[in-house]
Amino acid sequence: MKTYKIKSFIYFLLFAVAAFFYNNIEQEQKFQDKITSSEVVDIDTEQLEDSDADELETPVQ
């Protein structure tokens, strides 16, 4: 009976550790996705600013 309780406790601990690591990895991936999307927005904004500057510098005929 005692070995059954020890095995159950070990399985529970392993499950808790696996759940903890899974949660951390999931949060890190969401954070990376958020960073990537913000970088895309920054790049698009820079490209728009450059294209606006080019339009202003182009001589009108």
pLDDT, tens digit (0-9, with 9 covering 90-100), for 19-45: 999 988 887 777 676 666 655 555 555
Query: Tell me, what's the pLDDT at 10?
Result: 97
- Map tokens 């969401």 to a residue: 30
- Rounded CA-CA distance 44/36 in Å is 12
Phi, psi angle pair for 11, to nearest 5°: -60, -40
- Map tokens 């080019």 to a residue: 54
Q: Above 90 in pLDDT, residue 15?
A: yes
Give the total residue count for the chain: 61
Q: What residue segments make up the domains of the chain, in order of their start?
A: 22-55
